[in-house]
């Protein structure tokens, strides 16, 4: 649904500065004007003269134009705000998704690295066990003198 609106806006000339000025300066004032309770009551009260003076075509056209202008401008500004908000939310969701995917990949890479380290530690542990077993067998067989008190310096 929002893809259609984005494609439409991409085909338009680049009026970003004009649009941002309208979005920040003009549209909020127009919407605030049409959303004032006094203006809403006035517009509703205009139905009475439209019914009472239905033969006066000029008056009916003026009143109808007033109501159509308020309805159209408010609905279009609201629709634009909704589309812009939806596009922003979609972009933020994509950024969040990309960040989560990147973080997940980093975590998996770290787990792989830790797994490699664990494998190296297990290999070293196995080698030490083998060496200790060989020494133990040699000590039992009497091939190694364990009573020697030679000091061994730093390795």
Q: How far apart are CA 102 and CA 108, in angstroms?
A: 10
- pLDDT at position 117 is 94
Neighbours of 55 (CB within 10 A): 7
Q: Where are the domains of the chain?
A: 2-109
At 13-44, the pLDDT tens digits run: 666 677 777 777 887 888 778 778 888 888 88
- pLDDT at position 73 is 81
Q: What angle do CA 35, 38, 39 make, to 5 degrees?
A: 55
At 98-147, the pLDDT tens digits run: 888 898 999 999 999 999 999 999 999 999 999 988 888 888 887 766 66
At 51-68, the pLDDT tens digits run: 888 888 888 888 888 888
- Which of 88-126 are b and which e, b meaning 16 or more Cβ less than 10 Å from the residue's Cβ? eeeeeeeeeeeeeeeeeeeeeeeeeeeeeeeeeeeeeee
pTM, whole model, 2 decimals? 0.40
């Amino acid at each position: 649904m929002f893809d259609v609106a984005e494609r439409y806006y991409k085909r338009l000339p680049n009026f970003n500065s004009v649009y941002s000025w309208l979005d920040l300066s003009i549209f909020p004032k127009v919407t605030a004007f049409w959303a004032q309770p006094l203006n809403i009551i006035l517009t509703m009260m205009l139905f009475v003269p439209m019914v009472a003076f239905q033969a006066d075509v000029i008056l009916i056209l003026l009143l109808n134009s007033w109501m159509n202008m308020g309805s159209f401008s408010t609905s279009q500004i609201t629709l634009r705000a909704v589309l812009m908000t939806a596009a922003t939310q979609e972009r933020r969701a994509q950024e969040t998704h990309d960040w989560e995917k990147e973080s997940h990949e980093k975590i998996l890479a770290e787990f792989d690295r830790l797994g490699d380290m664990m494998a190296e530690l297990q290999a070293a542990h196995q080698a030490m066990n083998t060496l200790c077993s060989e020494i133990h067998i040699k000590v039992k067989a009497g091939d190694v003198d364990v009573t020697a008190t030679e000091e061994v310096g730093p390795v």
